[in-house]
Amino acid sequence: MGIKEYLPHDVINKAILSNYSFKVYNILPIKFKDTDKQRAVYKIETDAGPKCLKKVYFNEASLLFVYSVMEWLFNAGINIPTMLPTKHGGRYIKYKNNLFIVTDWINGRKCDYDIGDDICAASLNLGKIHKCSYGFIPIEGSFVSKDIPDWYRTFNRRYLQLLQFYNLASALKDDFSKSYLRYFDYFSERAQHAVHIFSTINSKNLIKTTDDFNTICHLDYVNKNIIITDDGKLYVIDFDKCKIDLPVHDLGVFLKRILKRKNTSWDFNILMMTLKNYESQRSLSADELLALYSFLEFPQKYWKISRDYYNNIKECNKKIFNAAIFKICEQKKDHDDFCDRFKLYLNTKYNVL
């Protein structure tokens, strides 16, 4: 079955691509998501090389913010595909109240988490992004997307939900609940400890970094959006989720995506490798490292799969959920060792845990 498409090719060509100066040879659908945040991606073969046509799901003010971010980083030397100008100098096309942008298509491979050099390059590049975003000023008229999370409140609420799920699991005693209960003591203790650490962090020090410098965070800095070209250059694509946020949030998202994999399951050496390369560009404070520790210690996947299961227990595919929680629980030993080694590292460096 082919990929579902958003618009017929003749409409794309006439209503959107005709506004650009290149000649179109072929239109290839890559992705279409028909959700509340509807989006579509096409690869366009042209006489000026391959292009990426994208339908975005946000409004013009939000798109202006994303454009501001991309231009700022591009001018700072970060490899990204910028929004190409139309024949009339605009940076997007509006068609039936939907917005479309065109960038160059970056040919290459996704960042491979099984290759140490890829992780090193991506970590260093993330440090560069955060460092060079200091002083970022969005273009006038942008909707400034800024989110400074209250991690203590967020994770404390999730910890309390774990306790609620314990009561549900104890009453139901189905296969999922048995797995949940079998490892509850470990994951709940880790969750409680993470919340405690969050409560001790001086949040003003974390927020100050973002408030003083308007730090740009990608927030979807994962392998599908980190492209390595044949000549070894690293490009970052898809800034749809970018915000002014805590740098350590971006770093935590990047690390968690790697560490939750089977092949790289909570590998402490990957953490050290990442920190070394990231901090070659931007140093992390003791408070930031504590926040990162707590972010990675909290059993996010255990909490999320349990929330999704108990909130949709009548409609969900129980076989899939049983397999998912089993995989999460399989990583308990790796996670335990990782947290202990990270704690020792922080004690040795800052005497803070």
CA dihedral 254, 256, 262, 264 (to 10 degrees): 60
**Does 226 share its domain with 269?**
yes
**Does 136 share its domain with 88?**
no
**Does 65 share its domain with 146?**
no
Q: Please count the structural domains in the chain.
A: 2
Query: Nearest 5 degrees, angle CA 37-CA 79-CA 27?
Result: 50
Would you say residue 216 lies in a domain?
yes
More confident residue, 165 or 206: 165
For residue 345 the two structure tokens come to 């590292």
User: Would you state the pLDDT for residue 244?
Assistant: 94
Q: How would residue 76 be classed by pLDDT, with cut points 50, 70 and 90?
A: very high
User: Would you state the pLDDT for residue 1?
Assistant: 44
Residues 6+ apart with CB under 8 A from 315: none
Share of the chain above pLDDT 90, in %: 86
The CATH number that applies at residue 259 is 3.90.1200.10
Would you say residue 81 lies in a domain?
yes
Q: Mark which of 105, 128, 154 sits at the end of a domain.
A: 105
The CATH number that applies at residue 49 is 3.30.200.20
User: Would you state the pLDDT for residue 16?
Assistant: 96
**Does 67 share its domain with 138?**
no
**Does 52 share its domain with 127?**
no
User: Would you state the pLDDT for residue 4?
Assistant: 62
* pLDDT (mean) for 283-312: 96
Would you say residue 317 lies in a domain?
yes
- What does the H/E/C string look like for 51-68? EEEEEECCCHHHHHHHHH
**Does 101 share its domain with 124?**
no
User: Would you state the pLDDT for residue 148?
Assistant: 77
Question: Which three-class secondary structure state does DSSP give residue 98?
Answer: strand
Q: Mark which of 105, 129, 160 sits at the end of a domain.
A: 105
Evaluate if residue 301 carries a pLDDT over 70. Answer: yes
Would you say residue 1 lies in a domain?
no
* pLDDT (mean) for 67-89: 97
Q: Mark which of 105, 133, 153 sits at the end of a domain.
A: 105
Residues in the chain: 353
**Does 43 share its domain with 177?**
no
Per the prediction, the chain carries an average pLDDT of: 94
Evaluate if residue 221 carries a pLDDT over 50. Answer: yes
Q: Which of 293, 306, 278 is nearest to 338 (CA)?
A: 293
Question: Which three-class secondary structure state does DSSP give residue 101?
Answer: strand
Is the pTM of the predicted complex or chain greater than 0.75? yes
**Does 233 share its domain with 131?**
yes
**Does 151 share its domain with 196?**
yes
Q: What is the pLDDT of residues 79-119, one digit of tens each?
A: 999 999 999 999 999 998 899 999 999 999 999 999 999 99
Q: How would residue 305 be classed by pLDDT, with cut points 50, 70 and 90?
A: very high
Domain of residue 287 covers 116-350
Would you say residue 313 lies in a domain?
yes
* pLDDT (mean) for 169-178: 95
- Give the residue carrying structure tokens 């993330």: 126
**Does 215 share its domain with 331?**
yes
Residues 6+ apart with CB under 8 A from 135: 213, 214
